[in-house]
Structure formats: C-alpha cells, structure tokens
Amino acid sequence: MHLTVFGATGNTGSRTLAKALAAGHQVTAVVRGAHTLSDHPRLRVIVADPMDPAQITTAVDGADAVLDTIGARESGPTSVCTDAAMSITKAMVSTGARRLVLISNSAGVAGPGDDWCTRYVVKPLILRPLLRHSLTDMAAAEQVVRDSALDWTIVRAPQLTDNRAKGSYRKAVDRNVTFGIRMSREDLATCLLDLAADPASIGKHIHLG
C-alpha cells in the first residue's frame, strides 16, 4: 500500500513507519522540521505543518491509507489532536483520499467490556480527572473524524509501553477489552497496519488490550 504517517517521529509513529517499510509498503512520513529518519528507497519525507491543510495535501494525495499517530505531550489544556484531525480530514477530502486510521485512548470510555472496578472506579474517578485535558482533546478529534465523509477507523488504545512486542493483541469492536490495561507500542503499530488494510473496520471504534 501507499501509506501516509503523521507523527512519524513519535514513539508510536516511528514504530509504525519502521514496520510499514519492513512489510514492503510505500510510506510518506510527515515531519515538522529537522528529523533523524533514515534514507530508504520506499520512504518519502515531507516537511510540513500538519495543522495546515494546504501544506499536507501533497502528503495525502494518492494515499491508500492515512495513519494519524499524533498525540498531545502537554499536561495542560490542549487541542493538538483535534487541530491535527481537522487539518488531515480537510486535506484528504480535498485530494480524494479516503482511508483514515486515528489513534485515540480508551481511558475515557467506560462501558461494555470493562470489569466493574474499571468501569465505575478507575476510569471515571481516577483516569478521567488525571488525563482530563488529553482525553477532552482526543474525544473532540474523534468527533471530527466521525463527522467527516471518510472511511475512518478510530483505534482506542490502552496505556502504551516500550516493552518488546508480544506478537499478538486483543481487540474488540465498539466495546472495551476486558482487563485491557496496557500494550506495547510495537504491537499497536502492527495493529494499525492490519486495520489500514481491513475494510471491515471502517466506521468502527476498535478497542485494544
């Protein structure tokens, strides 16, 4: 596939980029400025502001799938994920690109699939207050994607670690994964590539664990 990765130098994006190239895909990586990405015959690097649709139209034009791995690093109020989602969806619509996979967070979504303690204590009383700014931003980004006319998949990941890949992951459609507390970024990257090629995941919220 021809893939475009936003957030390609981040913890998850860099792993997704490496796995995509190893799998034989053509990849366009969007970076803000100076970067340490290695030269690769199937890698195209575009320096652009992902918050400006006019700057990223070239990056998404012709892409079979766009992977938005941008995450907020600020601990305070932020709109990074929302602004990026607005820009990327606008650029995709303008170029005719259709497939979008967005990384979000399962911490703010309590519901079916959660055990009692997670659903009624951990998420609403601990995680939501602790992560309220980033969760608010991600929820708004999700809404931007859902409101688009794109073939979207929203991936709600648990706490991410830098541990070695297990080589497998658990997922559920439109419901939480029971005891899905954490997963490695390596396994998340594998999942993103799997979902990008899976039309059955279009219009779905995929919860991981």
CA distance 46 to 82: 21
CA distances from 14 to 25, 138, 185 (A): 14, 20, 10
CA distance 49 to 63: 18
Alpha helix positions (H), the chain: 11-22, 53-60, 80-95, 116-117, 128-130, 132-147, 185-196
pLDDT of 52 over the 90 cut: yes
Arithmetic mean of pLDDT, 188-205 = 98
Q: Binning pLDDT at 50, 70 and 90, where does residue 93 land?
A: very high
pLDDT of 69 over the 70 cut: yes
Q: Which tokens go with 70?
A: 């941008």
CA angle 114, 120, 125 (to 5 degrees): 120
Which pLDDT tens digit goes with each residue over 110-158? 888 888 888 888 888 888 788 888 899 999 999 999 999 999 999 999 9
For all residues of the chain together, what is the average pLDDT?
93
% of the chain with per-residue pLDDT over 90: 75
